[in-house]
Structure 1
Amino acid sequence: MRVVSMFVDQKPEGNQSEDRAREFGFTVYPTIAETLRCGGENIAVDAVLLIGEHGDYPHNEMSQVLYPRYEFFKECVKVFEEDGKSVPIFNDKHLSYSFEKAKEMVNDGYRLNFGVLAGSSLPVTWRLPDVDLSLGCELEDALMVGVGGSDPMDYHALEAMQCMVERRKGGETGVAAVQLIDGEEVWKLGEKGRWSMELLEAALSRSDTPCGLTDEDGRTQDMIRNGEIYRLVDNPAAYFIEYNDGFKATLLMINGAIRDYCFAAKLKGEPLPVSTQFFLTPTPNVTYSACLVSKIEELFETGVAPYPAERTLLVSGTLENCLLSRHRGHVRLETPHLNVEYSAPTESQHAQR
């Protein structure tokens, strides 16, 4: 595949777009329309890679960065409509900070018959151990642990969790309600059974990066029983997700305890939880990005997304409403508009070699 044109919205000091254009023989155009038409009168590209990240963009009252992914996407759609031709679009990470905008983006793909793929590299990276849930499995509970700042790192963790729980019996039915709690109340709710300590223990057992005592002298540890997790995590956050079919799942963001992303679930009839780590290879070899690029290439070559954009749509809306829950004083919010239904891909999509 060959890059033939590029649009760059902001060019801060150190921007390399012009250098890369000279090196690889493509042109940087001043508008998205000119980029898709390569300076001509009609669309002249076979696919679009849309990355709305970094840069100097405003934040809203919920601390979401207002990246112009929707606006960039709609500029592409405008060209498709004017030229009577559509090509596949990959949108990096969440579709938009707004569920309504994200929904319109997905609907545009159906309306104009072009493939739309979006999302994070976590669902397609390696898993340690190599675990996938059987399609149609009977899930009783699920818990994800993640690290990093709110929007975007909680987005990554939510999508990793979603790529697992969407495989439950009956398929994805959408999200009925959410609530985001942070601070010491998170641990109290765990003790009361709002989320599963057993699943947290199973998820932590897959981490390669336990902090605290392990950092100090290399010892193994049970971070829950020795109390280290409570000492290390200054401000835990719990994202409670209630689905339309009655299933419930929890994301715990536990900065300071570990440095990776792990998942655990309870399957009906199984005595022990199933658990895994979503493996993020260390810098500078961030080869998990190559796992995502392989899916982008599949979209561009076939015109068909290897997994549904509805996953990213649902996660985009779930995150938006979790942050709204926090903004409104950590209230539980019913979300009838998140009635996103879809079926998970039959074949596993994560890297396995």
Structure 2
Amino acid sequence: MKKRVAAVITQYWLNSHADVIISRLLGELGYEPQVELVAMYVEQVTDRDLSHELSAKHGVPICATIEEAVAWGAPERKIDGIVVIGEHGDYPWNEKQQHLYPRLRFMQETLAAMECHGIRVPIFLDKHFSYDNGDARWIYERVKSRGIPFMAGSSIPYTDYVPDFDRSFLQGGRTFFVVSHGGHESYGFHGLEVLQVLAEQRRGAETGVASVHALAGDEMWQAMDRAEWPEALMMNALALEPELSGRHPRYECPNPALFVVAYKDGTMGYVAQLDKFATRWSFAVQEHGDAYIAAYCNTGQERPYSHFTRLTELIEEMILYGTPPCPIERNLLTTYLINTAMESLYQGRPLSLDELGVAYDPRESYS
């Protein structure tokens, strides 16, 4: 008998995160699920909604509240896992250009329902914990204190690298440069997750980040002219896109940004947001001296977006066996990174992360 899952969703439409994850759990998109979706909560229904059509097709009820979805079948047969997708929808933006998705509220109501009905099951939370670092810490502390298997974050770090390379090279990495695209917050988070999954492989456990500095527009290129960040590594990463050969984003990217991450051990990380120029997540990593490797993340460029197949498999594995694919601390740290980067863009200065210390061993999936 398959384990049973409830989904908590903001909006559900073609190619939304709900579609490319939850539709797979329903057996759509050529996917054969190992679990059974038994209930959904969908907060906003638009004229392009898919949830009602798929609800009728698969016999999965749409519940009126988060508690109803989480408690579906209780007490006789409680659910075995929860998928929370607080991405997309008609929610406000703040002055820092952060989209105020209700992930904290979704998690508060989910955890309250679990407590009320005596449920302790794995939870997947799509992308970063929250746009607010305090809210993110609240989520982290609650799931840790309850011993709840918890997975969050991006689909991109779980893709294959092209070309493949000897992972031991990352142990000596001192400078990590990721090329990203899309919105500064929405896709910048993916870029920071790619950065962190590479940087955490350097020798020793992750000891944390000292500061984040975000540069935008001409300020980014002026800093490049002063050799304050490694232009050569950016070009090495971009060279993996044949159509960009010989082209420089300085002259073609309308709204660039650079996230500069200074780690406490002296390692440097960079994420260049090159929307309307780059089209994939690529990276270059340099040791001491001139040795470097470069590769890109092999994401599916068109529907059904194959990188979400791997993500869905990992979600199912956590629900089936209770073991997340990475420490929760990685996702907490990348949440801090994107939130601090957006704050730095807003304030126009580097910001310290000393008071938000996050250290972890990447070899431990859960502690």
| TM-score > 0.5 by shorter chain | yes
Q: Summarize deviations over 1:118-152 as a string: whole Å, max 9, x none.
A: 01111001211123633971222111111111210
Match status 1:281 vs 2:300: yes
1:242 maps to which residue? Answer: 262
Match status 1:324 vs 2:343: yes
Match status 1:18 vs 2:52: yes
When normalised by structure 2's length, the TM-score is 0.85
How far apart are 1:41 and its partner, in Å? 5.3
Q: Which runs of 4+ in 1 moved over 3 A?
A: 39-43
CA contact (8 A) 2:207 2:360 kept: yes
How far apart are 1:185 and its partner, in Å? 2.2
2:179 maps to which residue? Answer: 145
Q: Distance in 2 between matches of 1:135 and 1:197?
A: 21
How far apart are 1:346 and its partner, in Å? 7.4
Deviates more, 1:198-207 or 1:47-56: 198-207
Q: Distance in 2 between matches of 1:307 and 1:272?
A: 28
Match status 1:297 vs 2:316: yes
Tell me, which stretches of 5 or more residues in structure 1 are unaligned? 211-220, 348-353
Q: Distance in 2 between matches of 1:66 and 1:140?
A: 34
Q: Distance in 2 between matches of 1:40 and 1:291?
A: 30
Q: Distance in 2 between matches of 1:318 and 1:88?
A: 25
2:363 maps to a residue whose letter is: P
Pick the aligned partner of 1:53 from 76, 81, 87.
87
Matches within 5 A, 1:216-235: 221-223=245-247, 228-235=248-255
If asked which structure has higher relative contact order (CA below 8 Å, sep 6+), I would say 1
1:6 maps to which residue? Answer: 40
- Per the alignment, do residues 240 and 136 of structure 1 end up closer, same or farther by CA in structure 2, a change over 3 Å counting? closer
Match status 1:34 vs 2:52: no
- Per the alignment, do residues 209 and 278 of structure 1 end up closer, same or farther by CA in structure 2, a change over 3 Å counting? farther
CA contact (8 A) 1:136 1:171 kept: no
Q: Distance in 2 between matches of 1:141 and 1:179?
A: 16
Q: Summarize deviations over 1:253-303 as a string: whole Å, max 9, x none.
A: 12233211111111236x421111012222123111101111111111111
Q: Distance in 1 between matches of 2:62 and 2:38?
A: 9
Q: Distance in 2 between matches of 1:232 and 1:124?
A: 30
2:358 maps to which residue? Answer: 340
Q: Distance in 2 between matches of 1:70 and 1:208?
A: 41
Q: Distance in 2 between matches of 1:78 and 1:86?
A: 11
1:345 maps to a residue whose letter is: R
CA contact (8 A) 2:184 2:257 kept: no
2:10 maps to which residue? Answer: none
CA contact (8 A) 1:240 1:251 kept: yes
Deviates more, 1:36-45 or 1:3-12: 36-45
When normalised by structure 1's length, the TM-score is 0.89
User: Any idea what SS the aligned residue of 2:179 has?
Assistant: strand
CA contact (8 A) 1:37 1:44 kept: yes
Q: Summarize deviations over 1:190-228 as a string: whole Å, max 9, x none.
A: 232211122112211222552xxxxxxxxxx322xxxx4
Pick the aligned partner of 2:227 from 159, 175, 193.
193
CA contact (8 A) 1:136 1:168 kept: yes
Q: Summarize deviations over 1:54-79 as a string: whole Å, max 9, x none.
A: 11001111111111111111111112
Deviates more, 1:333-342 or 1:130-139: 130-139
- Per the alignment, do residues 64 and 48 of structure 1 end up closer, same or farther by CA in structure 2, a change over 3 Å counting? same
1:217 maps to which residue? Answer: none
1:319 maps to a residue whose letter is: I
CA contact (8 A) 2:181 2:273 kept: yes
Matches within 5 A, 1:122-201: 122-131=156-165, 133-134=167-168, 137-201=171-235
Pick the aligned partner of 2:140 from 89, 106, 109.
106
Tell me the C-alpha RMSD between the 2 structures.
1.9
Q: Summarize deviations over 1:277-334 as a string: whole Å, max 9, x none.
A: 0122221231111011111111111111011121111111111111111111x11111
1:54 maps to a residue whose letter is: H
CA contact (8 A) 1:42 1:83 kept: no
2:360 maps to a residue whose letter is: Y
How far apart are 1:234 and its partner, in Å? 2.2
| Identity over aligned pairs, percent | 30
CA contact (8 A) 1:43 1:79 kept: no
